[in-house]
Amino acid sequence: MNLHHVFVCGNPALDFAATLRARRSTRFEMFASPDRLDAWYLESGVVDSVSPAGQSDVELATSVREAVYELVTARRLGEEFGEAALAALNDAARKPAAAPQLTRAGRWTAATQEEALATVAREAVEVLSGPDVPLLKECGNPECTRVYIDRSRGMRRQWCGMESCGNKIKAAAYRARKKTAESAPAH
């Protein structure tokens, strides 16, 4: 498993929720250290610079991430929101968010850890209350638990991303068909 963050979900909050990978099996934690949280904020484009995270920042971000995942799953399945998850998300979203500034070089957003997390939390509020709710889908790979916004024609997208899951599933299906064909008795 690589250590680079992946952004295939169509929304920063959904990509944030996907930083705990393979929730139903091996559970791979992308925020294994404070510098990995910092890297996510920068790689996602949520902010251009962020104050260095400490372990408490990772713990808070992880708890908000789990709240986002729980709320996204509830929304996708048409279930009621859990009170604790709502409180965790709203508490983070209530904090001041990162404010972009105009510089001679263009737009620049510097943030504290709290501001970066508030920015992601506000993205979650928007995606969970906006027009994309009917487009939320979970990846068709049974090992993957990413939820993405399906903007494909006819809502036919099956995987979070071809590079990450689609190719793996297609290759496995091909190998299974080939093995079945090779083991079938010739007529």
What is the per-residue pLDDT across 79-104, written as a single tens digit (0 to 9) for each?
999 999 999 999 999 999 999 999 99
- Strands (E) located in the chain: 20-21, 28-29, 49-50, 101-103, 106-108, 110-111, 136-138, 147-149
* Phi/psi-derived region of residue 183, left when phi > 0, alpha when psi is between -120 and 50, beta in every other case: alpha
The model's pLDDT over 38-81, given as tens digits with 9 standing for 90+, comes to: 999 999 999 999 999 999 999 999 999 999 999 999 999 999 99
pLDDT category at 179 given cuts 50, 70, 90 is: low
Between CA 54 and CA 37 the distance in angstroms is 9
> What is the structure's pLDDT at 176?
57
C-alpha separations of 115 from 47, 63, 92, 135 in Å:
9, 16, 9, 28
Q: pTM of this prediction?
A: 0.86
pLDDT category at 27 given cuts 50, 70, 90 is: confident
Average pLDDT, whole number, for the chain?
89
For domain 12-183, give the CATH number.
1.10.3300.10
Give mean pLDDT, residues 152-174: 73
> What is the structure's pLDDT at 21?
87
> What is the structure's pLDDT at 63?
98
